[in-house]
Amino acid sequence: MKFSKTQALRFPKTIRARLMAATAGITLLISIIILTICFFTFQSFLMKNQLQSSEFNLQLVANNVSADMKEIIYFSKWTCSNNEIIRYLEQADTVAPGSARDEEDSVLLRSLALSAFTRLKEEYYNTSSEKYITHTIISSNNQTNYLHILGPSENSKPYAAHTVHQATYFEDLFSSPEFTWIGLEDDLFTNVNPAKVIPIIRPIYNDFNASVLGWSYVSVSQSIFTDYLKDFPLAEDSAVFITIGPNTYTLTEQGGIEECPDAFTSLEDVSASPFNDATKVQTVKTADGSKHIMITLPLGVDGWYISQLLSQQQFDQQKLFYYVLLAGIFFVILLLGAFLMYYLNRIIHVPVEKIRAKINAIALGDFSREPSIEWDHELGEIGKGVNNLSSNILLLMDKRIQDEKQKKDLEYQILQSQINPHFLYNTLNSIKWMATIQGASGIAEMTTALARLLKNVSKGSAAMITLREELDLARDYFLIQQYRYGGSITLDCSIGNDELYQCRIHRFTLQPIIENALFHGIEPKGQAGKITIRAEESADSSGRLLRISITDNGIGMSPETIQTVLQGGESTTTDFFRHVGINNVNQRIQHDFGENYGISITSEVGVYTTMTITIPYIKDELKP
């Protein structure tokens, strides 16, 4: 089935329909723009809000864990540097079981052990995080003599120092130059359902010869994490991970901690303005293959981090709320648009219909005034205009009749003005022949020149003529003036080449300039004068140019006079050409060719004046 263009595209024809369509379209466009901006803003706000909320909660945990670990690390360093502990270990290494001095040395060793243990216990209880220290052992190299402090609810075990020394990780931690973290290990002193602890083993050195006197063992309970995470807000599809060195752990449903080496795989960093510069936001892929956003914060210990997978369920719930909010905004905008359409219809359509009715009445010949369409607003101004049009239409018709009559009168006057030059030309021609017959050659020559001028005025209709024709007209004019001045003025023409005679130039271009040179330059000087006309071809970036310079040896011009002449302030003493001045010539040239062309004047007061005409080089091929 085919449709015509009219059927395919039906645009509203009335202003009312177009206004309603435009209002509906603009309302819909504004709704789309606002909803789009709101959608992306809310989306960004939701994500940023969830990130900052999670970051804030994790930061609280991280600050607490960091503060506790700083206390425990300080305590571990203290055990390796306390003088009483060092003296005890020095004595413990000198006592060999079964020697003669065994009894005396044992008494001294016990005394030093009691003093060191008292000081150790005092420092232990002064540590604000002592509740997370499950065991503290200070042992000599032979593991026979050692000090042992148990944490709350911990059990002692025979040969505790030997048990620690036999641990698989002992040598790695003991020989490391710095604190090394291997993660959570089973508690060496619990046989049933062993809890997880973080072992810290550091060597104790002699202050004088840097020899190793023994070692310090501090075990940190996993409750340093679980105590702060037990009330941590966590959704069903979220998870918290703790990274200690190379190992990653997660919370169990029972509140414990278990290792999960393949819990997630990092994909890309998507950090988005976190509170802390050390916070890292990235997308990860979990073990079940789903993608999540994970936020990670350092725990204040080198190699320790806490991370949380953001809940997609919470994000979707908040997103649903904002979708409802966006729908409400869209509905409110539509209601405002509908109200605007109704309001515009009331304030525009009704007045327009009344104005249309009045215009139709005028078309049918009713020119009476209608006061009801002159409201106090813009459409009322139109109504007043329609009434004024209705009131004045008859006057306008009368005026048109008068204008037609005046037009006929002007045409008759123009015809008369054309007849007069012809009559003068014929009369002058008769005078010429009479002067020739009577032998008055000067009168004949002057009359002939004036007749040619009048003939050119009466018969010439073209605005542009050749340079040759313009020069002939200028010579005729100069000849008349030459008789007036008694032959005391001369005219010299220098044309660069014969082709320049065919160039086109505005009619009456040279005559006003020659007239100005005679009346304002040479005549005030009171002596013989000379006018030189030179024509030459030149070129610039715009193309070929014709330059014509007219130079006189008159009184010259000041810069102010030059400005006055070019602006049309000069006056002539003749009546015949007084309306064709230099400014007129300059304006005609610039009107036809542009402001880059026209007349320029150079002069020296008392010496000379040169007026240069610059026009495009236009050759008239039709003229011989």
CATH number, position 608 = 3.30.565.10
Residue whose pair of structure tokens reads 């005729």 in the numeric block: 476
- Last residue in a domain, options 226, 254, 276: 226
pLDDT of residue 569: 60
Longest dimension (CA), the chain: 178
Residues 573 and 447 in one domain: no
146 and 133 assigned to the same domain: yes
Among 366-375, 474-483, 497-506, whose mean pLDDT is lowest?
366-375
Does a structural domain hold residue 251? no
Co-location of 571 and 430 in the same domain: no
- 344 belongs to a structural domain: no
pLDDT, residue 277, reads: 74
Q: What percent of the chain has pLDDT over 90?
A: 21
**Which CATH number is 220's domain given?**
3.30.450
Render pLDDT for 256-279 as a digit per residue (tens, 0 to 9): 788 887 777 878 887 755 556 778
* Domain coverage including residue 87: 80-96+103-226
pLDDT at 32: 81
Model confidence at 422: pLDDT above 60:
no
Q: Is 186 strand, coil or helix? A: strand
Check residue 2 and give its pLDDT: 46
Lowest mean pLDDT across 236-245, 396-405, 567-576 = 567-576
User: Tell me, what's the pLDDT at 418?
Assistant: 45
Co-location of 443 and 468 in the same domain: no
| pLDDT tens digits along 582-620 | 888 888 888 888 888 999 999 999 899 999 999 999 987
Q: Which of 158, 192, 226 is the last residue of a domain?
A: 226
Residue 11 β-bridge partners: none
My answer on whether 565 and 475 are in the same domain is yes
Which tops the pLDDT comparison, 177 or 435?
177
Q: Is 214 within 8 Å of 201 (Cβ atoms)?
A: no
> In the predicted model, is pLDDT for residue 137 greater than 90?
yes
Give pLDDT, residue 220: 93
Whole-angstrom distance, CA of residue 313 vs CA of residue 191: 41
Instruction: Count structural domains, the chain.
Output: 3
Of 247 and 405, the one with more pLDDT: 247
The pLDDT value recorded for residue 578 is 42
pLDDT, averaged across the chain? 79
- Does residue 111 lie in a domain region? yes
Inside any domain, residue 31 = no
Q: Which two tokens stand for residue 555?
A: 């009184």
Cβ–Cβ under 8 Å, residues 309 and 320? no
72 lies in some domain? no
Residues 466 and 429 in one domain: no
Q: Which pLDDT does position 15 carry in this prediction?
A: 63
The tens digit of pLDDT for each residue in 346-369 reads 777 777 778 888 788 877 777 677
Percent of the chain with pLDDT over 70: 79
Which residues, 6 or more positions from 404, have their beta carbon under 8 angstroms from its beta carbon? none
Residue 394 within a domain: yes
Q: What is the DSSP letter of 619?
A: B
- The CA distance from 594 to 510, in Å, is 19
Q: Give me the pLDDT at residue 189, please.
A: 83
| Residue 552 confidence (pLDDT) | 94
**Last residue of some domain: 428, 443, 459?**
459
The Cα 505–Cα 618 span in angstroms is 8
Q: Which residues contact 306 (CB under 8 A, 6 or more apart)?
A: 58, 61, 62, 65, 240, 241, 242, 243, 296, 297, 299
* pLDDT at residue 576 greater than cutoff 50: no
The rounded distance, in Å, linking the Cα atoms of 488 and 482 is 7
- Asked if 452 and 478 sit in the same domain, the reply is no
pLDDT > 90? residue 138: yes
Looking at the fold, whether 548 and 486 belong to one and the same domain comes out as: yes
Per mean pLDDT, which of 24-38, 367-381, 397-411, 462-476 is the most reliable? 462-476
Amino acid at 381: E
207: CB partners within 8 A, 6+ apart: 83, 86
- The reply to whether 122 falls in a domain is yes
Do residues 417 and 495 share a domain?
no
Residue 371 — very low, low, confident or very high, per pLDDT cuts 50/70/90?
confident
Q: Is residue 114 part of a domain?
A: yes
Average pLDDT over residues 332-350: 76
Is residue 448 located within the same domain as residue 481?
no
Residue 288: is it exposed, middle or buried by C-beta count within 10 angstroms (0-12/13-18/19+)? exposed
pLDDT computed for residue 574 by the predictor: 43
What pLDDT was estimated at residue 310?
83
Record the tokens describing residue 201, joined without a space.
């083993």
Q: Are residues 486 and 610 in the same domain?
A: yes
pLDDT at residue 392, as a whole number = 78
Q: Are residues 132 and 189 in the same domain?
A: yes
Query: Smallest Cα–Cα separation from 259: which of 267, 272, 249?
Result: 249
